[in-house]
Structure 1
Amino acid sequence: MAGHSKWANIQHRKGRQDAKRGKMFTKAAKEIIIAAKAGGDPVGNSRLRAAIAAAKAINLPKDKIENAIKKGTGELAGGDILEMAYEGYGPGGVALIVEVATDNKNRTVAEVRHILSKHGGSMGESGCVAWMFDRKGVITLEKDKYTEEQLMEVALEAGAEDVTDEGESWEVVTAAADFNAVREALEAAGVEMQSAEFTMVPQNEIEVDVETGRKLMRLVDALEDNDDVQNVHANFDLPDELLAELG
């Protein structure tokens, strides 16, 4: 899809291979908590359904899913989590959007600002880079379970923009307004999703040199290692030399 960088693809694969299970569980549970604030019944809460599907895809235990839902609805303590997005810049003038879920926004903003500064970046004002990105829905599916034709028949009919081959998986891309309709059409067709979420896709990308690419990768890794950071979006594309090293 337009604006979906090679870096995004590498980052996605790298995240699957390298992410610590505990970190993945924490992110998934927080998304369930936030989603459940709008209602604890997944039948009537599409975001909660998607969050539960994503949690099951990484084998988050059933009791942790149930507890996260109860935290979100207020049945259990621990649901005071806010979701926010910080905007800023990385090395080479690359635009960054850092999405967080936190129970202490003062702590989180200080930590994000420190990470950015330490790695040659800086925090910006709200709205400084968001205009460079489009909000899209992205649904990921196992490559060996479905053919491209099967997915396109269901997804495009429901309003998806594209179905792309991401190496180890299929990716269905939708406009934000069509995300739920496409996800529900795939569900109705019996398609199992690895993940279903909104993301920020850059309208244009900056191709950086190898040195800047390494700095940016270290910055993104440091941000993603923070317990409150849910997602990092950036508008850079890595040079082929660096992509080859990453495999």
Structure 2
Amino acid sequence: MAGHSHWANIAAKKGVVDKKRGKLFGKLSRAIIVAAQHGGGDPVMNLALRYAIDKARKASMPKENIDRAVKKGCGELSGENFEELVYEGYGSAGVAVLCDILTENRNRTAGEVRKIFEVHGGNLGSTGCVAWMFERKGLFLIPSDAIEEDELFEVALEVGADDVSANGDVFEVTCSIDAFQQVSEEFEKRNIPTNLAELSRIPDTTVDLGVEDGKKVLKLMEALEDHDDVQSVTANFNIPEDIMAEVLAD
């Protein structure tokens, strides 16, 4: 297991999602605001908004918060103007790292993100330095005890997914951006649970890490995830299963 799906499973084990739950609604609101700014307030016509709202609902974000974010994006309520950015850099052992950013102050965010990279043994790079190593796709992580692999493979490919693979205690399903909504709706209709369902950046190749580099990279990922302006973090690392327990030990 590697790349974003690798980090997603590690984050769950370390409780990263629970730690940042207090910030989660703020990040989800930003995504809804920006989607509404770009494509209008109708989720039927605006797929980016529909995706952002679906993600917020799955996180149990209150309806009034969602409605307020849509109105801010449409200009019906006052609010900040967020800018969409992608910051690229390197972690320990040359691991490529991508951060999707929504910020109202790019200079402040750049300085803070640069500092996070430096503190954890990495460095913020220039635009385009690592983005070429990743492909934008839909990603689903499904508990392996929830469905048989053959059945999942049949359902996924039937609705337009590209690939299904077994990775530890989850199945990883990938699809094109265009097929994401269709695949997501089919899984929901069939009551197939997902640990993760999002548009992600999948690395073409991965870097195997040892114990020390593994610990440094995970601390970098966790610190970036904790930043208010960071929507998501992706990296091309892999930690072999035989040293995973040692890497996760604090």
Report how far residue 5 of structure 1 moved. 5.8
2:156 aligns to what?
155
1:66 aligns to what?
67
2:76 aligns to what?
75
| SS of aligned partner of 1:161 | strand
Amino acid at match of 2:109: T
Structure 2 contact 85–101 (Cα < 8 Å) conserved: yes
Q: Deviations over 1:36-76 (max 9, x none)?
A: 22121112222222211211111111111111111111111
Amino acid at match of 2:36: A
1:85-234 pair list within 5 angstroms: 85-140=86-141, 148=149, 151-164=152-165, 171-186=172-187, 196-234=197-235
User: 2:52 matched to 1:51?
Assistant: yes
| SS of aligned partner of 1:78 | coil
1:18 aligns to what?
18
CA–CA separation in structure 1 for the residues paired with 2:166 and 2:96: 26
| SS of aligned partner of 1:125 | coil
CA–CA separation in structure 2 for the residues paired with 1:66 and 1:92: 44
Please, what TM-score do these two structures have when normalized by structure 2?
0.85
| SS of aligned partner of 2:161 | coil
- Give the 3 Å change call, closer, same or farther, for CA 236–192 of structure 1 in structure 2: closer
CA–CA separation in structure 2 for the residues paired with 1:66 and 1:242: 45
- Give the 3 Å change call, closer, same or farther, for CA 239–27 of structure 1 in structure 2: same
CA–CA separation in structure 2 for the residues paired with 1:164 and 1:60: 31
User: 2:9 matched to 1:9?
Assistant: yes
Amino acid at match of 2:82: I
RMSD: 2.8
CA–CA separation in structure 2 for the residues paired with 1:107 and 1:48: 27
- Give the 3 Å change call, closer, same or farther, for CA 20–145 of structure 1 in structure 2: same
Give aligned-pair identity as a percent: 48
CA–CA separation in structure 2 for the residues paired with 1:36 and 1:83: 13
Report how far residue 139 of structure 1 moved. 3.4
Extract unaligned runs of 5+ from structure 1.
none
Q: Deviations over 1:172-197 (max 9, x none)?
A: 31123432443354466676766542
Amino acid at match of 2:23: K
Structure 1 contact 50–196 (Cα < 8 Å) conserved: no
CA–CA separation in structure 2 for the residues paired with 1:15 and 1:30: 23
